[in-house]
Chain A
Amino acid sequence: MNRNPSFWTLIWTHAVLVLAAIVVLYPVLWVLKLAVTPAQSFAAGISPFPDVVSFENFAAVLGSTDKTGAWLFGRQLFNSVVVAVITSVIGVVLACTAGYALSRWGFPGRDEALGLLLVTQMFPGVVMLIPLYILLDTLGLLDALTGLALVYATTAVPFCAWNLKSTFDTIPRELEEAALLDGATRWKTFTLVILPLARPAIAVTALFSFMTAWNEFILAATLLGSERAYTLPVVLQSYVGDYGTEWGLFSAGAIVVSLPVMLLFYVLQRHLVEGLVAGSVKG
């Protein structure tokens, strides 16, 4: 095909990209504008570029302290990171083992298990909030970050396991068979031969679990029992009130919350393309 595209092809493809980039960036720039504008309202106009730049909203969000003067934002950031990291670890471990079993072995019930993964995605969360509350209360996991992380991990795991299963499907079985013949255990083969090959998909799985935990607020706001236990989305949501929204603080908070995920996307972007269901085409 066109190894050397015509001038016009070059022009229109880049024009499409520029247009798409503008559409993508426009709302993001608006959030940025609201965040650096001292007023707490949703300013009017076309231009997404700020008239004044002030960091007072960021200072207010980042510098929040509790009554004793302890740095509240730092503590909440820590909570968010802890919950998200625990979620990712649990999510990846569960998804890797389940995904591998589902990919490799035709045990009785395998198709049913695969079906269940998809079916759990169909549950509307609305009816689950109160039963979940009661369940976590019964298990004594209320007001504990571990309880939250467990719920998040099980929310993320079906997609992750499905994604990893597709990836493992593409890895030739001959590799493990050789290792097994050499006397390696299944676990050794899995960790030493298969996992390294699936690294991109594992990175995506981790990212997905991380995001699930990082962005959630309804459950967190219902369960967590003190401000020192809050995660960042709960804090962010508290700028949206009954009588109006503190737009400046909300936007500054939104940027602070989104930034780590954006950074992760940036770092993992190469893996993202290889690691997301890409594998399921057996070339």
Chain B
Amino acid sequence: MLLALFLVLTSWVQAAEINVWHAYRGAERAALERAVDDWNSAHPADPVLPLAIPYDAYNTRLEAAIPRGNGPDLFIASTERVHAWQRAGILQPASLDTSQYLPATHAALKIEGEHYGWPLAFKCLALYFNPELIDAAPETAEELLEAAQRLGTEERWGIAWEATSAYHAAPWLHGFGGGVVEGENIVLDSPENAEALRYIAALADVGPKDPTGSLISQLFNEGRVAMVINGPWFAGDLREVNAEVAALPIINATGESAAPYVTVEALFLAQGASQPDKAAAFARYLANDRAIDRAVNGRQPVAAQVAWEHPDVIADPLLAAFRTQVDTAKAMPAHAEFDQSWEPLARALRKTLRGATTPEGALTEAQTAFEILTRPPPPPANPTFYVLLASLLVLTSCVVVWRWTRRQDFTGWGFAYRWIAPTMIGLGVLVVLPFVVGSAMSLFSHRDGEWTFIGLAHFFDILFARDWPAGHPLSFYFTLVVTVAWTAINVALHVAIGMGLAMILREPWVRLRGFWRVLLILPWAVPSYITALVWKGLFHRQMGAINSLLEWFGLEPVGWFDSFLTAFAANLSTNTWLGFPFMMVVVLGALQSIPRDLEEAAALDGASAWQRFRHVTFPMVLPVLTPAIVLGSVWTFNQFNIIYLVSAGEPDGSTEILVTEAYRWAFTRGHRYGYAAAYALLIFGTLIAYGTATARLTQGKSKS
């Protein structure tokens, strides 16, 4: 009896799950969950527990959780960041039988003689075509361009692809003899790359403008695009149309194939995995035993050799095409700074495709930008001086606080402190403390999981514009000016529109007042990230409703994100839409408590409507409005979602505001948390200065 109980208990203890994190959606997720179900029924003692995490939060979460021991046993991700992860120490080496996998796939996982992770599938670009519109895939780049031009009509495009993404540009760079890595160096501004950019621009010109993944799927499904360059994931979006797939063409000038990057999706063994052996067993199961199922039912180009001997896999033309393509594809370079080349390259592409510069000019800028992004960190600083400085600061503040307490009379106020203590403790622990810790990071440089004390060097770099000259769109000062303009115009519009509508809505003779009031505060109720994504869609050059409206009125459609002013206007409209209801409600409230006799008296004296507003109503609303304006400015100054999701800084990072720049430094530009923290402190400093100035102004006024 006791033994039985013991057995039950131990089996219960052993049944701790193998945690697997992933960011799959749709069909891929379903396939993974099927595999997990089968594994769990075969291994009830070692159940696997998958967790889907939104893609946006995936990397942050991995990099925050694993070093603190809260990570999973395994996680599924692309090999793009494998080098950074290995350096940051969040991966464990895996024992991999390389003979079981396609060479290109295990090569992507090899770092310094060890393999990190089990390859699941590979992804690379290939050419999809609609056989009803074109008989066979063009074999050379010239034929491709010619076919794309020939097949385009009013209603239809010859080709659609995400020409502004560096990943999609890579095949052409390689095909023209260029690329990103040359030996030990990253070289973006080679003549071969310029040649490739010229071709990319020509090919992009015959396709739809600013195509996003979902737009391309839609057009292809409607039979409105003959050819699409995309990865295996595109097959999942195909519905009404039959598609065939072929390898990318050969470049006439060089005789080389346009070689896409191959990225490998792999299962990684996390550092600190609680059950590494069992996790490895599941990883082998998913990578190998499930390979045929994933290939046949999920149409994944899998990494396991065994699947490519299976008749059903060989017979699938889609998989066969990717199998052919991978032989010419290139592995992602292992260069430590390679991932810093994406942003400058994408910027160069967009600038060239807009026609704003020549390919050579764009690539020279990209090279400069790359060198700035990868500048070596500031030298380590001697902490002694800073420790002295910090002690001095602490001492001074202690003296200040002590002298302050001496001047105050605390007797009898104990009860008041008890009332306010919970709020202050809560704010102190959960708001002030994280901010202070976060700000302290600004004194350190962060590279690959290592922190080096560098003193105030980040602040000097930013304030003396050592990275980018002050007039450059990516410099602190340019971004500061944009941020201030963004805040001022937004708040002015919010107040003007809010006040105008409130003045109308206060009138008792307006019909259905309650109805209008509820309708007009609707934008406030919609979460801002939803608003941002929808408006981004509305501003799309070809598919967006706003350009459709312009055309309906007989105007030319506008490439909203091609120039600073229109992109800024797009951001502004979105944020105005979402922000005016707050001011409207504030003003409505203020108007309610204002007696109308004064206005009526002024009217009797013959004051015009404008004079009454200017000299009677407005001055009475202002005291309520001032704090709302201060608060509104602070919120708008740090309005992350709108900028990040609507213009995303386009064109060339010029519509970026300080807080989105800080975010990019922290999360997309090699995790420079320290540099980002310095940005954040400067944002805070600016706002403090603004707050103090307005406080002085309003106090000055009320005293006079």
Contact = CB atoms under 8 A, between A and B. Distances in A.
Interface of A: 1-5, 10, 13-14, 16-17, 20-21, 23-28, 30-31, 39-46, 48, 67, 93-95, 97-98, 100-102, 105, 107-110, 113, 116-135, 137, 142-143, 150-151, 153-155, 157-159, 161-162, 166, 186, 211, 214-215, 217-218, 221-222, 225-227, 233-234, 236-247, 250, 254, 257-258, 261-262, 264-266, 269-270, 272-281, 283
B666 A273 contact: no
Contacts of A95: 423
B417 interface: yes
22 contacts: A1-B612, A13-B507, A14-B510, A26-B545, A30-B545, A39-B218, A105-B413, A116-B424, A122-B634, A122-B691, A127-B438, A127-B662, A135-B437, A137-B68, A137-B70, A154-B429, A155-B431, A221-B56, A244-B237, A266-B518, A273-B592, A277-B590
Contacts of A236: 530
Interface in B528-558: 528-531, 533-535, 537-538, 540, 542-545, 548-549, 552
Contacts of A13: 504, 507, 510
A274 B590 CA distance: 8
Interface in B20-74: 23, 25-26, 33, 36-37, 49, 51-57, 60-61, 64-65, 68, 70
A226 B214 CA distance: 29
B376 interface: no
Given A5-B507, A137-B70, A186-B415, A277 B624 contact: yes
A69 B546 CA distance: 43
A55 B36 CA distance: 30
B423 A161 contact: yes
Interface string B520-532: 1111111111110
Interface in B227-252: 231, 233, 237
Interface stretch (B88-96, B298-306, B672-680): B672-680
Given A14-B510, A265-B518, A126 B662 contact: yes
B218 A240 contact: no
B408 A108 contact: yes
Contacts of B680: 123-124, 126-127
B255 interface: no
A242 B81 CA distance: 15
A194 B215 CA distance: 57
B688 interface: yes
Contact of A265 (B237, B525, B530, B540): B525
Contact of B420 (A4, A25, A97): A97
B593 A281 contact: yes
B485 interface: no
B409 interface: yes
Contact of B409 (A108, A113, A161, A234): A108
Interface residues of B, number: 135
Interface of B: 23, 25-26, 33, 36-37, 49, 51-57, 60-61, 64-65, 68, 70, 212-215, 217-218, 221, 231, 233, 237, 405, 408-410, 413, 415-417, 419-420, 422-424, 426-427, 429-435, 437-439, 441, 497, 500-501, 504-505, 507, 509-511, 514, 516-531, 533-535, 537-538, 540, 542-545, 548-549, 552, 577, 585-586, 588-590, 592-596, 599-600, 603, 612, 620, 623-624, 627-628, 630-631, 634-635, 638, 640, 658-659, 662-663, 666, 673, 676-677, 680, 683-684, 687-688, 691
B627 A162 contact: yes
A98 B419 CA distance: 6
B627 A280 contact: yes
Given A124-B659, A265-B524, A131 B433 contact: yes
A21 B519 contact: yes
Contact of A101 (B51, B416, B523): B416
B431 A120 contact: yes
B434 A254 contact: no
A151 B523 CA distance: 25
Contacts of B691: 118-119, 122
Given A14-B511, A16-B501, A278-B589, A133 B64 contact: yes
Contacts of B590: 277-278, 281
A184 to B, nearest CB: 14
Given A20-B520, A127-B676, A281-B620, A44 B577 contact: no
A205 B588 CA distance: 17
Contacts of A25: 519, 522
Contact of B527 (A108, A226, A258): A258
Nearest to A221: B57
Contact of B64 (A14, A43, A222): A222
Contacts, number: 353
B292 to A, nearest CB: 23
Contacts of A211: 525
B603 A135 contact: no
Most chain A Cβ neighbours within 10 Å, of B49, B237, B533: B533
Given A31-B530, A131-B438, A265-B524, A276 B589 contact: yes
B424 A154 contact: no
B70 A142 contact: yes
Contacts of A28: 522, 526
A23 B577 contact: yes
B538 A30 contact: yes
Contacts of A142: 70
A119 B684 CA distance: 9
B593 A128 contact: no
Give me the 3 closest cross-chain CB pairs, A-B, nearest first: A278-B589, A244-B213, A127-B438
Given A124-B662, A157-B427, A278-B590, 5 more contacts: A1-B596, A240-B55, A247-B537, A274-B592, A281-B620
A158 B237 CA distance: 46
A154 B409 contact: no
Nearest to A12: B504
Most chain B Cβ neighbours within 10 Å, of A233, A275, A280: A280
B537 to A, nearest CB: 5
Most chain B Cβ neighbours within 10 Å, of A14, A159, A222, A250: A222
A131 B56 contact: no
Contacts of B585: 272-273, 276
B425 to A, nearest CB: 10
A237 B57 contact: yes
B587 to A, nearest CB: 10
Contacts of A127: 435, 438-439, 441, 662, 666, 673, 676-677, 680
Given A161-B423, A269-B514, A218 B214 contact: no
Contacts of B408: 108-109
A41 B594 contact: no
A258 B593 contact: no
Contacts of A39: 218, 221
A4 B430 contact: no
B589 A107 contact: no
B594 A281 contact: yes
A234 B54 contact: yes
Contact of A272 (B424, B426, B435, B521): B521
Contacts of A269: 514, 517-518, 521
B660 to A, nearest CB: 9
Nearest to A269: B518
Nearest to A225: B51
A43 B51 contact: no
Contact of A134 (B68, B510, B527): B68
Nearest to A120: B431
Contacts of A126: 640, 659, 662-663, 666, 676, 680
A273 B683 contact: no
A56 to B, nearest CB: 14
A13 B502 CA distance: 11
B224 to A, nearest CB: 11
A48 B523 CA distance: 17
A281 B426 contact: no
Contacts of B552: 46
B529 A217 contact: yes
A17 B417 CA distance: 48
